[in-house]
C-alpha cells in the first residue's frame, strides 16, 4: 500500500473539473463523484458513557479530525477535538437528551489522539501527558489549561528538516484570543504555543493547512466573520480566511477567499490540500438562517477547487460531496446532522475522506464520531451526459501514447467516443469519431483506440473532443496541459 498527501502534479493526469482543461461543453453537466461510506462507520465515538469510561470525551462536537498516514510508522494518526468538560453532556443521560435543550455551558477544549494500523480499527492510547481530574491516563495531547487551545488542526510536515518541528499545529489560543502555533517531534508532546508575530484572526474553527511546494510556503485557512470587531469578533456570517508563511511563524494578513451565499449558506470551515494540478477544499456549509428549512442548523460538506489557493469556487453549490445520513436526532443515522471532513489522503487508487459526523443539529444535543468515506482516484467531479448526446472539447493537451487512457463510467447502455483535433481544432485523419471504438464500462484507466495508432501523431499539442451518452468523464490519463 502506498499513500500520499496530495501534492504537486507529477502524474500527467488532466482532471475534467479543472476549468483550464475545458474549452467548451454542450449537453453535459458537471456532477460530483459518488462517495462510499465505510460499512463499519462510525469508526469510533465519544466514550463518556462507555465501559470503561473516558470522562474527557464528553462531546466531540465538530470532531475537526486531522488524519495523516505516517510514512515512517505506517500508522494512520488522527488528532480530534473534544470538550473535556461540558456539564449538559455529562449530566444528562442519552435517554433524556431528546426532551431537553442543550445549553452550551462553560467547557474546556482538548485535542485528543488516536491511531490505527489499517485506518479502520482505532486505538486511543493512555499517553500520560496531560492531567485530567487528577490523572494522566488519557489520550489528551493539548488542553485549554495546558496549551490554551481552542479549535485548530495538525499537519505532518515532510518538508521540515528540524525533527523537533516535524508535526505542526495551528490554532486559536483561548488565553489571549490570538492565533498561535505549536511544534512536536512525535505529534504527542507539544511545545507551548507561539503567538503569531503580527496578524491574527478569529480562528474559531478547524484551522488547517499544508506545505505547498509550488509556492514554497505554508498555506493555512481559518475562519473570520463578515462584521467582526476587536470587541465582538463573532458578528455577521462565517467566512474563510487564507494566510501563508515561509517559516510557520510569520504569517501574512489573513484575507477572505470564500464566503457563502447568505446567512443560510455560511462556510464554517474548509480543509485544503494540493491534488494533482489543483487545490481541493472541503467546505463545511452551515445552514443557519432559515429556521423552517429542512436543513436548518445542519452542516453539509461540499467540494471546492482553486488554481492558486487565493480564489475558490464551489463545484456544485448546494450539493454535498459527503451526503448526510437519513433521519434526525435521536433515531437518525450517525451522520444525519453535521459533517466536517479532514484533508484527503490518497492511497493507491482511492481517496480517503475521514470526517466527523454527528446525529443532531449544530446547536442541539448530538453524539459525534469519526467516519470514513472513499472516492475512486480522481473522481471528485466529472462531466456527465444523459440519454441525449453531450460533447466536451478540451484545451490543448500533450498526450503520452504509452499511458493515455480515460477515467470514465458509462451506464449499461451508455458509451463514449473521442476524436483528436489539431491545436487549432481541425480534424485529424484516422482520429475522428467514426474511427474510434466506443468505450463502455466503468474504469479508472480504460483504453481507447482509433483506426490509427496514437504513436503516429507528432509530439505536439492536440485537443480532444468527447461524444458521450449516459456516461461521465472524470479524467484523462497520460495528458498534460500544453499551457500553464
Q: Where residue 385 sits, what CATH number does that domain have?
A: 2.60.120
**pLDDT level of residue 193 (50, 70, 90 thresholds):** very high
Q: Which of 354, 376, 398 is the last residue of a domain?
A: 376
Query: In whole angstroms, what is the distance from residue 71 CA to residue 68 CA?
Result: 9
Alpha carbons 481 and 133: distance in angstroms, whole number? 58
Residues 49 and 140 in one domain: yes
Same domain, 273 and 417: no
Q: Which helix (H) or strand (E) holds 88?
A: helix 87-91
DSSP state of 193: P
Task: Check residue 8 and give its pLDDT.
Answer: 38
The H-assigned helical ranges of 125-245 are: 144-147
Nearest of 278, 101, 299 to residue 205 by alpha carbon: 299
CATH number, domain of 193, equals 2.115.10.20
Q: Among residues 355, 376, 397, which one ends one of the domains? A: 376
* Domain final residue, candidates 342, 359, 376: 376
The b/e string for 16-51 (b: 16+ C-beta within 10 A; e otherwise) is bbbeebbeebeebebbbbebebeeebbbbbbbbbee
In the structure grid, which three cell numbers stand for residue 246, read together? 515561509
Whether residue 343 is found in the same domain as residue 409? no
Position 3 scores a pLDDT of: 52
Mean pLDDT value of segment 466-480: 97
Tell me: do 185 and 282 sit in the same domain: yes
Q: Are 149 and 83 in contact (CB under 8 A)?
A: no
pLDDT score of 484 more than 80: no
User: 91 Cβ partners below 8 Å, 6+ apart?
Assistant: none
The domain total for the chain is: 2
The range of the structural domain enclosing residue 412 comes to 3-32+381-481
pLDDT (0 to 100) of residue 2: 45
Q: What pLDDT, on a 0 to 100 scale, did the predictor assign at position 176?
A: 87
Model pLDDT for residues 404-427, shown as the tens digit of each residue:
999 999 999 999 999 999 999 999
Residue 11: predicted pLDDT: 60
Mean pLDDT of the chain, nearest integer: 95
Q: Express each pLDDT in 245-274 by its tens digit.
A: 999 999 999 999 999 999 999 999 999 999
* Same domain membership, residue 368 and residue 264: yes
Q: Are residues 273 and 184 in the same domain?
A: yes
User: Does one domain contain both 387 and 251?
Assistant: no
Q: What does DSSP say about strands 29-32 and 381-385: parallel, antiparallel, or unpaired?
A: antiparallel
pLDDT of residue 106: 82
DSSP string, 231-294: S----S-EEEEEEEESSSSS-PPPEEEEE-SSTTSEEEE--EEEETTEEEE-PEEEE-S-TTST
Does residue 14 sit in the same domain as residue 136?
A: no
Amino acid at each position: 500500500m502506498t499513500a500520499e498527501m496530495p501534492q504537486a502534479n507529477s502524474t500527467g493526469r488532466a482532471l475534467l473539473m479543472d476549468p483550464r482543461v475545458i474549452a467548451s461543453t454542450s449537453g453535459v453537466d458537471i456532477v460530483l463523484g459518488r462517495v462510499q461510506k465505510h460499512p463499519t462507520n462510525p469508526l469510533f465515538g465519544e466514550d463518556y458513557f462507555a465501559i470503561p469510561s473516558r470522562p474527557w470525551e464528553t462531546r466531540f462536537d465538530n470532531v475537526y479530525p486531522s488524519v495523516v498516514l505516517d510514512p515512517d510508522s505506517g500508522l494512520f494518526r488522527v488528532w480530534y477535538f473534544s470538550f473535556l468538560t461540558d456539564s449538559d453532556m455529562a449530566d444528562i443521560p442519552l435517554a433524556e437528551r431528546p426532551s431537553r435543550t442543550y445549553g452550551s455551558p462553560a467547557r474546556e477544549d482538548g485535542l485528543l489522539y488516536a491511531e490505527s494500523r489499517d485506518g479502520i480499527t482505532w486505538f486511543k492510547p493512555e499517553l500520560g501527558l496531560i492531567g485530567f481530574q487528577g490523572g494522566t491516563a488519557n489520550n489528551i495531547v493539548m488542553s485549554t489549561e495546558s496549551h490554551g487551545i481552542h479549535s485548530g488542526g495538525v499537519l505532518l510536515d515532510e518538508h521540515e528538516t528540524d525533527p523537533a518541528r516535524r508535526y505542526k499545529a495551528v490554532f486559536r489560543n483561548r488565553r489571549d484570543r490570538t492565533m498561535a502555533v505549536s511544534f512536536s517531534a512525535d505529534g504527542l508532546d507539544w511545545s507551548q504555543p507561539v503567538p503569531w508575530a503580527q496578524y491574527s484572526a478569529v480562528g474559531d474553527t478547524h484551522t488547517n493547512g499544508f506545505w505547498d511546494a509550488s509556492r514554497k510556503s505554508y498555506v493555512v485557512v481559518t475562519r473570520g466573520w463578515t462584521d467582526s470587531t476587536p470587541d465582538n469578533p463573532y458578528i455577521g456570517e462565517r467566512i474563510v480566511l487564507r494566510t501563508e508563511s515561509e517559516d510557520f511563524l510569520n504569517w501574512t494578513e489573513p484575507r477572505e477567499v470564500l464566503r457563502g451565499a447568505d446567512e443560510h449558506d455560511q462556510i464554517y470551515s474548509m480543509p485544503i490540500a494540493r491534488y494533482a494540478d489543483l487545490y481541493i477544499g472541503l467546505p463545511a456549509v452551515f445552514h443557519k438562517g432559515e429556521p423552517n428549512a429542512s436543513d436548518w442548523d445542519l452542516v453539509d460538506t461540499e467540494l471546492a477547487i482553486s488554481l492558486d489557493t487565493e480564489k475558490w469556487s464551489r463545484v456544485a453549490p448546494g450539493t454535498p460531496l459527503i451526503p448526510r445520513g437519513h433521519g434526525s436526532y435521536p433515531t437518525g443515522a450517525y451522520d444525519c446532522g453535521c459533517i466536517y471532513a479532514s484533508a484527503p489522503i490518497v492511497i493507491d487508487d482511492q481517496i480517503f475522506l475521514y470526517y466527523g459526523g454527528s446525529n443532531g443539529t449544530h446547536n442541539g444535543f448530538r453524539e459525534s464520531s469519526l467516519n470514513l468515506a472513499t472516492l475512486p482516484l480522481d473522481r471528485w467531479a466529472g462531466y456527465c451526459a444523459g440519454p441525449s448526446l453531450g460533447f466536451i472539447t478540451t484545451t490543448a493537451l500533450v498526450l503520452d501514447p504509452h499511458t493515455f487512457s480515460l477515467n470514465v463510467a458509462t451506464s449499461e447502455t451508455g458509451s463514449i467516443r473521442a476524436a483528436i483535433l489539431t491545436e487549432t481544432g481541425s480534424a485529424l485523419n484516422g482520429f475522428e469519431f467514426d474511427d474510434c471504438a466506443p468505450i463502455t464500462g466503468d474504469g479508472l484507466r480504460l483504453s481507447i483506440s482509433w483506426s490509427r495508432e496514437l504513436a503516429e501523431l507528432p509530439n505536439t499539442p492536440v485537443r480532444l473532443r468527447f461524444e458521450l451518452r449516459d456516461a461521465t468523464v472524470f479524467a484523462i490519463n497520460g495528458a498534460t496541459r500544453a499551457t500553464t
